[in-house]
Amino acid sequence: MTRLGEALLDLDPPHPLAGGEWDPGPGRAFRRVIRGLVTSALAEVWAGATRDTTIGPLSLCLVGSFARAEGGPVSDIDLVLLHEMPHRLEGRVLDLARDVLHPLWDAGVSVDHSVRTPAQCRQVAADDLPALTGLLDLHVVAGSRELTDAVRASVGSDLRRAAPTRVDELLTGARERWADEGDLDRVNEPDLKACRGGLRDLDLMRALAATWLTDYPHDRVEDAASFLLDVRDSLQRVTRRHTAKLLRVHQGAVAADLGFAGIDAEADLMRMVARAGGEIAAATEAAVHRALGAREAWGPGGLRRRISRPRSPRLPHPVAHLDQLGFGVAVSDDALVFTDAALARDPSAVLELAGTSARTGLPPSSATLDDIASGVRAGALSGTGAWSSHRAHLFLDFLGAGKGVIPTWFALDRAGVPAAWIPEWEALRSRPQRAEFHRWTVDRHCVGTVAEMGVMLDGRADWLPPFDRSIIDRPTALLAALLHDVGKRPPDGGVDHPRIGASLVGGILERMGMGEWAPAVVSLVARHLVLAQAATTRDPDDPATVAEVLDAVDRDPALLAALVALTRADSVAAGEKAWNPWRASLVNTLARTCWETLARE
């Protein structure tokens, strides 16, 4: 018993495959071994503690990750001691709990615990969402299985009776967590549990499924979660700490531990993490949408509403109501769909949908994204052929939609659309950043930069006088924002990315029917770091510093204004560390000096 903690850390688990698919088998087997060790140790202590007791019925249960056979090498052990003793005899139960827990604590094992009656379990489940999700997964270690089953059943029954209210509570907590942590497939240092698309979202889906309002694709989602658990287990072995935060400093060691090799091993690991997170996030979004839609038919009057709902005599399902927005795009159940499924293979129609989604905030429906993904696989949306002028302008309209471009872009990204538009984009997907001040992956940062640029160009963000945003060429600024980091790709991962990016941008824009903007965009991409580096590393009052910036933009006022805008958008999109008041002041001061110098010439 004294070596339990060391035994869990020093197990030598078989590694999952490090290729293009995760292998859910070995990691699950490893976690079953861990739970077996924990359960055996607990059962041994329980047998010693209850040898001379006549209290009953009693049940010692695991909750949390170990209850689901998802505990890692240094995961906390969460226990519940169930009993049915009257209040006047609860002291005997508490004595028993101490007899069970002290050997564990003496062995250095981290254990959280509670002692509850079935009624207390139902009460805490009604008031505490984390406790609710834990009690739904009670796993008996020793004692009365009947008592454990009864508690689990009563908590589930209470949840279903109060389903509409509990759904709102579950979603409120989840949305707050998503806002704080970001998306697992877009942050450089993801929290494998708390991010959107992380392991807590699987817990959320399980709780939603327990309401009977919705369900989720168990095999696909739990295979993705199993890979994230493999990564978490490796992270705990590498750090020997209870953590799920995959920091940059540990990504290389975790990649090696899991069998990833080669110069791009870390990026390969993070792409796999992102893919698993995207799978879970998409399933969570669909499960939440179904749960919210099902509440209408729940509770008193629900059966009557289902019976009286109008139906077509020729169709087995209710007739869908579409609010048509034009251009083949319509709204159905608060999501965007095509009025004709064949439009999912029309490149211009997909761009109409993208622009509408970014401007309205309505997401494409899951079924529509499935149809679009089918079109991508068939090559219908390929970016290798020349684009028409109409298609190019639809793309620019989409890029200029402001902050709404971010969720729409990544909804389409799960269907493979951006890489079909721009094949060079594939190398950027979920690629981690090297610089510490970057919060987001390369692709998320680029899309965030174009979103910030759209906001500035539309006058919805502060602008530095005496600059006049009207002199900036809008297409040039938007395309430079999107493509400024396209050079962050193997083999060097972005050390010389402005030069590499500039060598790619001309061909990309010619292919997309936007060659007229290529010279200016190439110039901005090649020099997009000049202003920020000069402001933060050189003397802004030195005429040579000013001359360096002005020479980079060929002393063109419009190009200088575009560079200032790109510098601000790039920095704001990188995160608070990149655009703090000190850095903003340095950049703004040098930009003003450059502008005034140019005005005097």
The pLDDT confidence band at residue 240, using thresholds 50, 70 and 90, is: confident
The CATH number for 187's domain is 1.20.120
- Rounded to an integer, the average pLDDT of 556-583 is 90
What lies within 8 Å, CB to CB, of 122 at 6+ separation is 151, 154, 155, 158
Does 563 share its domain with 479? yes
What distances in angstroms separate CA 342 from CA 16, 356, 372, 388, 394, one per listed residue? 40, 18, 9, 20, 19
Does 157 share its domain with 170? no
Is the predicted pLDDT of residue 556 greater than 60, yes or no?
A: yes
Name the domain count of the chain. Answer: 4
Is the predicted pLDDT of residue 32 greater than 50, yes or no?
A: yes
Q: What is the DSSP string of 221-287?
A: HHHHHHHHHHHHHHHHHHH-SS--B--HHHHHHHHHHTT--STTHHHHHHHHHHHHHHHHHHHHHHH
- Rounded to an integer, the average pLDDT of 54-77 is 85
Closest by CA to 207, choosing from 299, 287, 124, is 287
pLDDT at 451: 97
pLDDT at 553: 93
The pLDDT confidence band at residue 139, using thresholds 50, 70 and 90, is: very high
Domain contains 303: no
What's the token pair of residue 331? 């709204």
- pTM score of the predicted model: 0.79
Is the predicted pLDDT of residue 15 greater than 70, yes or no?
A: no
Of 28 and 59, more confident: 59
pLDDT at 26: 59
Q: How far apart are CA 160 and CA 163, in angstroms?
A: 5
Domain contains 315: no
Does 155 share its domain with 173? no
- Rounded to an integer, the average pLDDT of 577-597 is 89
pLDDT digits (tens, 9 = 90+) for 163-202: 888 888 888 889 999 999 999 989 999 999 999 999 999 9
pLDDT at 315: 40
- Rounded to an integer, the average pLDDT of 191-218 is 93
pLDDT digits (tens, 9 = 90+) for 241-289: 889 999 999 999 999 999 898 888 888 899 899 999 999 998 998 899 8
Q: How far apart are CA 447 and CA 428, in angstroms?
A: 11
Q: For 364, which DSSP code?
A: B
User: In the chain, what percentage of residues exceed pLDDT 90?
Assistant: 51
pLDDT at 48: 83
Does 138 share its domain with 28? yes
C-alpha atoms less than 13 angstroms from C-alpha of 180 in its C-beta half-sphere: 9
Is the predicted pLDDT of residue 88 greater than 80, yes or no?
A: no
The residue out of 298, 333, 358 marking a domain boundary is 298
Is the predicted pLDDT of residue 25 greater than 80, yes or no?
A: no
pLDDT at 568: 93
User: In the chain, what percentage of residues exceed pLDDT 70?
Assistant: 88
Does 457 share its domain with 580? yes
From the centroid of its chain, how far is CA 512?
30
| 3-class secondary structure, 382 | coil
Return the bridge partners of 329, or none. Answer: 326, 338
Is the predicted pLDDT of residue 416 greater than 90, yes or no?
A: yes
Domain span at 348: 322-388+396-414
Domain contains 219: yes
Does 410 share its domain with 516? no
- Rounded to an integer, the average pLDDT of 5-21 is 42
pLDDT digits (tens, 9 = 90+) for 371-393: 999 999 988 887 566 899 999 99
The pLDDT confidence band at residue 133, using thresholds 50, 70 and 90, is: confident
Is the predicted pLDDT of residue 318 greater than 50, yes or no?
A: no
Does 380 share its domain with 463? no
Domain contains 441: yes
Q: What is the mean pLDDT of the chain?
A: 85
Does 47 share its domain with 77? yes
Does 327 share its domain with 432? no
pLDDT digits (tens, 9 = 90+) for 103-117: 778 777 778 889 999
Domain contains 356: yes
Does 459 share its domain with 599? yes
Does 119 share its domain with 189? no
CB atoms within 10 A of CB 150: 17
pLDDT digits (tens, 9 = 90+) for 47-60: 888 876 666 788 99
Is the predicted pLDDT of residue 508 greater than 60, yes or no?
A: yes
Rounded to 10 deg, the angle between the 118-127 and 145-161 helix axes is 30
pLDDT at 316: 41
The residue out of 161, 196, 215 marking a domain boundary is 161
When mean pLDDT is compared over 230-244, 460-474, 481-495, the highest value belongs to 230-244
Domain contains 485: yes
pLDDT digits (tens, 9 = 90+) for 328-365: 999 987 889 999 989 999 999 999 999 999 999 999 99
Domain contains 555: yes
The residue out of 283, 298, 313 marking a domain boundary is 298
Is the predicted pLDDT of residue 537 greater than 50, yes or no?
A: yes
Does 190 share its domain with 252? yes
Domain contains 409: yes
The pLDDT confidence band at residue 145, using thresholds 50, 70 and 90, is: very high
The CATH number for 29's domain is 3.30.460.10
pLDDT at 16: 33
